[in-house]
Amino acid sequence: MKGEPDSPSFRFTREEISGSLGDLGTFLPLTLGYIAQCGLSPAPVFFFAGLWNFVTGLLFRLPIPVQPMKAIAAVAIAEGMNPGEIAAAGILMGGMVFLIGISARAGSILSLTPWPVVRGIQLGIGLKILLAGVQAILPLPLVGWDSLLVGAIAVSLIVLSSFHRKVPAALILFFLGFCLLWVSRPGLFGNLGLAPWTPELIVPSPADWWRGFTKGAIAQIPLTLLNSVVAVCALSGELFPGKKIPEAKMARSVGVMNLFSCWFGGMPVCHGAGGLAGQYHFGARTGGSVVFLGGMKMVVGVAAASALLSPLKNFPQSILGALLIFAGLELSLPARDLPGREDFLVALLTAGLILSVNVTAGFLAGILFWTIFNGRKHG
């Protein structure tokens, strides 16, 4: 289905509001993982995610999503990166992508990383997130409010929702988690009150800069450039003829978001083709969908997120694990579109090294294997 080039830039209809929920399957699990596993404060995480939804909705006038950077999130959640390391990874990524966006050779730079390597990174970090979800559920008792049984039911809901793509399973599980927490640990909600958020500066240490680069940023670079810039721009032109967003403009948007908000506790964010497809599938057709979503996130961040800090940090592991499994599956599945056997082998080797060693090794190995296989084709 194609969009209409003469459609209005902003609508705030039921369809647009429904469409704004289309990317929550990625946003909620990784956001909860950052808060519960890595110690990020929910106030800046929600506020800045909402701010950039709002700003990019006005800037692009299309339902362009704002998502957590997947490679950084996967390593941060699975290996326990601290807020300083996460901030450093996001700032470094923002700086590099912004420089590419203002470069006269932006187009050639954006096409450097082979697509099979990008798909391998997606597969590897998707499986890494999925395994983190499984590891969150397995130690739980068999029955109880937060148990293997609850986790199995949550995963079953995810499987069933895959047959009905307009059912926002992640949002349902998110609220189910709060209901379980309310029943099992009501004391966590006893002193809730609206408290304004006061921004605090995060200054990474030298060690944070190094670990942020080697553990997160180096594998995020190709993923962001190809999936969050090239692919999302191409999809914007396909879904909305005549409104294709220039790649350099998209790269500058990613750069500015992270160069600003990561200093204040915001999680590293990007745009993404999968998120745009999801929001379009749920009904989003204009920038009004993400402007609405951004406003809601900012309200939560400014007024309520501090009060929800304790419930979010104690969110049921069964539900958090199921949400991470959901996000991991969503991120892994695009690897299916690789056409050739050797391309898929490169992706598998890249993913295998990411899982068994680290993301840097997977990225470098993927480049090496692709070079070898490509050289054989043209030798």
Q: How confident is the model at residue 48 (pLDDT cuts 50, 70, 90)?
A: very high
* Residue 35, number of CB atoms within 10 A of its CB: 22
**6 pLDDT above the threshold of 90:** no
Q: How confident is the model at residue 1 (pLDDT cuts 50, 70, 90)?
A: very low
Q: What is the pTM of this model?
A: 0.85
> Who contacts 61 (Cβ-Cβ below 8 Å, separation ≥6)?
9, 10, 243, 286, 287
**4 pLDDT above the threshold of 50:** no
pLDDT tens track for 109-155: 666 778 888 888 888 888 988 998 999 999 999 998 899 999 999 99
Query: What is the residue extent of each domain of the chain?
Result: 14-336
Q: Rounded CA gap, 324 and 133, in Å? A: 5
AA identity, residue 207: A
AA identity, residue 195: A
Distance from chain centroid for Cα 32: 11
Which pLDDT does position 306 carry in this prediction? 66
pLDDT tens track for 144-189: 889 999 999 999 988 887 766 667 778 888 889 989 988 888 877 7
Which pLDDT does position 357 carry in this prediction? 83
Q: Rounded CA gap, 7 and 283, in Å? A: 14
**2 pLDDT above the threshold of 50:** no
Q: Rounded CA gap, 295 and 303, in Å? A: 12
Tokens at residue 205, please?
Answer: 């240490």
